[in-house]
Amino acid sequence: MNGLKRFLLAASLALAALLPAVGLQAKEAADLAADPVAEKRLMEISAELRCLVCQNQTIADSNADLALDLRREIRGMIQQGKSDREILDFMVARYGDFVLYRPPVQSNTALLWFGPLVIFVIGLIVLVRYLRRRSQVIASAPAGLTEAERKQAEALLQSASEPKDSAS
């Protein structure tokens, strides 16, 4: 596993060196080589953050310009020794809670977090009440058949067992 990672790193470095244009990709690869630990943290933090340009991607996944800028910003803050919490707070202060992929539990997200649970409990109550009412109906129904019903059933059974010539 580690060997593979190292191989990939070496391969990407070699590729970066081969590229004549000093593009953004090459620059990112160089940064990656400089400090793999910081880079791993960068990827972990940016996987928690939403890219506001392509909203269903994280900053780690996205190659939008803004995502590159924000990764650069996070890299700078890691180098300054900021904690993960501080970096996430920095982003929330500028872009709002929406930037967090994992919404925080607070008053305005209560419905989001607990709504499904509330609906589940309501469903459970409805189900229990329905089942109780049904068992009451079953319990209160007369146990056996009345004489008239028994005769009717017998007649039906007999007529069903006889071959029907009208069906052809």
The residue ranges that bind another protein (CB under 8 A) are 52-53, 55, 65-66, 69-70, 73, 92-98
State whether residue 65 is helix, strand or coil: helix
DSSP 83-147: -HHHHHHHHHHHH-GGGBSS---SGGGHHHHHHHHHHHHHHHHHHHHHHHHHHHHHHHS-SS--H
Q: What are phi and psi of 49, to 5 degrees?
A: -110, 140
| Residue whose CB is less far from another protein, 43 or 64 | 64
DSSP 3-39: HHHHHHHHHHHHHHHH-SS--HHHHHHHHHHH-HHHH
Alpha carbon distance 57, 95 (integer Å): 15
Report in angstroms how near the CB of residue 122 gets to another protein at its nearest: 12
Report in angstroms how near the CB of residue 36 gets to another protein at its nearest: 25
Report in angstroms how near the CB of residue 113 gets to another protein at its nearest: 18
| Residue whose CB is less far from another protein, 7 or 114 | 114
| Residue whose CB is less far from another protein, 55 or 166 | 55
Report in angstroms how near the CB of residue 158 gets to another protein at its nearest: 37
| Residue whose CB is less far from another protein, 36 or 115 | 115
